Amino acid sequence: MKLYEWLRGHSLVIAITALGLTGANIAHAADWERLFESDGSVYSYDKASVKRVGGFVTAWTRTDLPEAQITGGKKFLSQVDLNKFDCQERMSATLSMTAYSLKDGKGEVVASFSERESSVEYEYVIPGTVGEALLNGFCKGNL
């Protein structure tokens, strides 16, 4: 199963900003806090990364999977995403994602991509999904 298909299958429509950053380029020390668990996956966010500008919120999130998924023939147990949420339109877009062989965003990088914000298409967040739970948490200022 390809990573993008897995993300779609789990309704993880997560948005990422055009800061041009990857997990290795974060200038601050990550301060991960657990958000919730869904279908065995554990979702966390980096408290130090949350940025609010106008009706948009940007944050790094991490997903630890209950069992290994496969992308490009390699197994991964976690992924770290830079998310950007359009709170007014209830949309999100993914600008950066890195999949790791171990939980907690550790181990070998098995897949990675980054997009400039200008080239990313926002998608509506599907009600009742993890994507909606993330959007609501960040946009309501609870995180």
Tens-place pLDDT, residues 93-108: 999 999 999 999 999 9
Tens-place pLDDT, residues 10-52: 333 332 222 333 344 444 578 999 999 999 999 999 999 999 9
Number of structural domains found in the chain: 1
| Residue 113: other Cβ atoms inside 10 A | 14
Tens-place pLDDT, residues 48-83: 999 999 999 999 999 999 999 999 999 999 999 999
Report yes or no: 64 and 42 within 8 Å, Cβ to Cβ: yes
- The structure's pTM equals 0.77
Looking up residue 49, the CATH number of its domain turns out to be 2.40.128.710
What domain range is 60 assigned to? 3-139
Report yes or no: 95 and 84 within 8 Å, Cβ to Cβ: yes
